[in-house]
Structure 1
Amino acid sequence: MYTLNIDTQAFIKQHWQQKPLVIKQAFIDFEDPIAADELAGLACEEEISSRVVVTKGDDWDVVQGPFEDYDQFGEDNWQLLVQAVNHWYPDSQALVEAFRFLPDWRFDDLMASFATPGGGVGPHIDNYDVFIIQGDGERRWKVGDKGQHKRRGDNPNSPLVDDFEPIIDVVLQKGDVLYIPPGYPHCGETLSLALSYSIGFRAPSQQELLTELADSLIDSNQGHKRFNSVDEPATPGMISQSHQQGIMDLLTQLAQDPASYQTMLGKLLSQNRFELDICEGEEPLTADELLEAIEQGAIIQRIGGLKVLQLENDNEQRLFINGEVYTFANVTNDMLQLLANQVRITPEEASVFTANAAALDILTGLLNQGLFYLAEDDCE
């Protein structure tokens, strides 16, 4: 178990999405959730997103995985980064759990890195919130203030920026955490062989929202209302300000109508950027077999990275799971909350489903789709 040594509500009020923060010994007696050789092994897999960043003076080369070996990179000045480790390495889920004081819809992934002395990715700006957790070894981090920072090589699409004046300059040691909100330039330098972890939280952009909303309206055959007016401009070639605003108000009306956007939001926010480790069994499970497994003490476990979300004030009994809608007939809100909030459902908790045939069928279907799996209680 990992327990953050901070007042989470005070953090949200004073720092979240506002300003960076160094939390020394945020985790007391921190233990790395994954070893360096295990991380290197994950980066050998085709379906797992990984890369090596090689430091070359004031420049950086990026080599995309998978990797067969690492001898080519030498003994210093490189860093291995593996995305979505929580999808593929169940033991890392406990570290993710420590940050669930923030909503699941924001959570992106747990990235793990192994770095040699001098390794880093260069000064850059992220468009998401990130918590950097130091494991074995030491890394020096510099964080600059928000502002107009020149992009490296004058490339407006590059995340890299020119050097900046730091407002934070700190050496992170095992168990330390550095929080960086979007827009703050930062740069890490490895001082000794090091393992570190980045937990990212994202929100959709306006582009993403409009794209998803348009697709949703087409799929549901909604959004046919057109602009009409009671006044016209004096000249035929003019689009008046009132017409401009009236046309754009059509979008505002959609944004104020839950029936127009809720399904789209639920599907969008429950999707993952990275591939999931789907856990389908060899033979489909029946509802009776699930009942028997629960009676024998099986845990119903969510696969790593899976998002199970519920909309507040939803007028339907449904959940959004991995970009899909799951409607539950004749279930209580407690059942929906249990699935949305619990990564592990104990036999005692699962008993609320066993008395509801429809809910049990849906739960059986989720297991057969490989989104959940049956596990033993490792606390016994």
Structure 2
Amino acid sequence: MQMASFDVDMFLRDYWQQRPLLIRNPWRAWRNPLEPDELAGLACEEGVESRLITQTPDGLKMESGPLPEARFGELGDSAWTLLVQAVDHHAPQVAELIDAFRFIPNWRIDDVMVSYATDGGGVGPHYDQYDVFLIQGLGRRRWRVGPRCNSQTPLVPHEDLRLIADFDATDEWILEPGDMLYVPPCYAHDGIAVGDDCMTYSIGFRAPSVAELIEGWSEHQADGLTEEDRYADPGLAIQVNAGEISAPALDRLHAMVMQALSDRDAFARWFGLHNSLPKYADADWRPEEPVEEQEAKALLALGTPLRRNPASRFGFIRQGPGILLFVDGHCFECNGETAALAEELAATPIVRTDPALAASQAAVTLIKALIDQGSLAFEDED
């Protein structure tokens, strides 16, 4: 699904990570990609992250999925909201929504969360640590947006939800099907369904924290060090006060740490692996049987398109004349025609293959490896 009236350059210059923006139906022809019953069905499945939020006399209550089918029949006329995470992993038509936002690098994309709410349903005023596009799929929703928040913003005491205690809206809109609201990180916002059958698609973007990067990179480098990698001080001079940790000692200690962490090429490879890790590590998308090499060659010779698994994460980093392709926590070193193929795989969900690739053993090996790990499939396969 593509947008027809959206100025990407203006958006990136004036709004991205700066301030909210309401975008009235920019689509060529908006159509809701998922039915409410399909969303409810996903919320009942094992391995699908879902939450049900209901309004009680004591405030909002959250239940985590999977939910029993009978639960929806028990809700009656009360106001409630169902949220299902990573719906793009399970519904190709929802995954297609992401295509319209590929002006943001793919490595920043997280997933598409879908919510369904009855009249008055919502999750309360809150803020997120990431950018989000909120697309109205069905029905209507009133969105209120407030100021930027931070870790010092007072929250309502709640076991499950991070709700803002004193929400003061600065803007308010009602979104109709196809309308979209962009909310930058940390901006307060609150959405309430106006009428029943309200569905919203939230396209969220990842932003690794400094703490996450330091912890992950440091642990990775530490794992590669030996017991012999230790502090040393040959030519030690006698100190006036033995209790002092001297400046030369601190210089040596600091240099040891910085040297171990300053290898940019090693950091690039680590980050590619770290960033491409699947959102749900326990999910197993591998085919029942590995693809036969001759079968792969035959399908390539026919020009059969390749489709990425919507749950997979692809990205690449240029390295000299070749590239490093990262897919679901694995690294593949690619050169020549394989590098060109890898770039295509990382750029688009469907790749129209060149039949000449069937003669390239390196390309066949790469494609077979990606199919066998569940990251890729030929278009005519289930």
Q: What TM-score do you get using the length of structure 1 for normalisation?
A: 0.88
The 5 Å alignment of 1:291-330 reads: 291-313=297-319, 317-328=323-334
Which residue of the partner structure matches residue 357 of structure 1?
361
Aligned position for 2:180: 177
Q: 1:302 to 1:142 in 2, by over 3 A?
A: same
Distance 1:360 1:236, change over 3 A: same
Among 139, 142, 160, the alignment partner of 2:141 is 139
User: Following superposition of structure 1 onto structure 2, how do residues 56-205 of structure 1 map, counting pairs within 5 Å?
Assistant: 56=56, 59-69=59-69, 70-147=72-149, 148-153=152-157, 159-193=162-196, 194-205=198-209
CA shift for structure 1 position 247: 4.5
Alpha-carbon distance, 1:235 to partner: 5.1
| Change in 2 beyond 3 A, CA 1:190/1:254 | farther
Q: 5+ unaligned residues in a row in structure 1: which ranges?
A: none
Distance in 1, matches of 2:246 and 2:4, equals 55
What is the CA-CA distance between 1:241 and the residue it aligns to? 7.6
SS at match of 2:378: strand
- How far the C-alpha of 1:263 sits from its partner, in A, is 1.7
Indicate whether 1:26 and 2:26 are aligned: yes
Partner of 2:215: 211
In structure 1, what is the equivalent of residue 295 of structure 2? 289
Measure how far apart 1:249 and its partner are: 5.7
Deviation at 1:169, TM superposition (A): 0.9
Tell me the number of residue pairs that the alignment of Structure 1 and Structure 2 aligns.
Answer: 374
State how far apart, in whole Å, the 2-side matches of 1:327 and 1:264 are.
14
Distance 1:330 1:298, change over 3 A: closer
Decide whether aligned partners of structure 1 residues 316 and 123 sit closer, same or farther in structure 2, where only a CA change above 3 A counts.
same
Separation in structure 1 between the aligned mates of residue 16 and residue 239 of structure 2, nearest angstrom: 47
Q: CA deviation at 1:98?
A: 0.9
Equivalence for 2:46: 46
CA distance in 2, matches of 1:201, 1:134: 18
Q: Is the 8 A contact 2:322 2:336 kept in 1?
A: no
2:139 aligned counterpart, secondary structure: coil
- Of 26-35 and 173-182, more deviation after overlay is shown by 26-35
Give the secondary-structure state (helix, strand or coil) at the position aligned to 2:138. coil
Percent of aligned pairs sharing the same letter = 32
- The alignment partner of 1:144 has SS state of strand
Note closer, same or farther for the CA distance 1:76–1:334 as it changes in structure 2 (3 Å cut). Answer: same
Helix, strand or coil: the match of 1:304?
coil
| Higher percent of residues as strand | 2
User: In the TM superposition, what is the alpha-carbon distance from 1:160 to its structure 2 partner?
Assistant: 1.6
**Residues 1:280 and 2:286 are matched in the alignment:** yes
Q: Partner letter of residue 204 of structure 1? A: P
How far is 1:161 from its partner?
1.1
Sort the Cα spacing of 1:8 and 1:329 in 2 relative to 1 into closer, same or farther, 3 A.
closer
Q: Secondary structure at the match of 2:31?
A: coil
TM-score, structure 2 normalization: 0.87
1:369 is aligned to 2:373: yes
1:118: how far off?
1.1
Secondary structure in 1 matching 2:112 = strand
Distance in 2 between residues matched to 1:122 and 1:284, nearest whole Å? 47
User: 1:188 is paired with a residue of what secondary structure?
Assistant: strand
Mean Cα displacement is larger for which, 105-114 or 292-301? Answer: 292-301
Per-residue CA deviations over 1:208-261 (Å, capped at 9, x if unaligned) read 212211332144448947587999997555557886677456555555421331
Deviation for aligned residue 1:89:
1.0
Q: Check conservation: 2:300, 2:357, Cα contact below 8 A.
A: no
Cα distance in 2 for partners of 1:37, 1:18 equals: 37
Q: What is the alpha-carbon distance in structure 1 between the residues aligned to residue 232 and residue 181 of structure 2?
A: 49
Q: 3-state DSSP class of the match of 2:221?
A: helix
CA 1:241–1:139: 2 relative to 1, 3 Å = farther
Q: Please state whether the residue corresponding to 2:211 is helix, strand or coil.
A: helix
| 1:177-197 superposed Cα distances (whole Å, 9 cap, x missing partner) | 111111111111111120110
Counterpart Cα distance in 2 of 1:366 and 1:212: 25
CA distance in 2, matches of 1:245, 1:168: 52
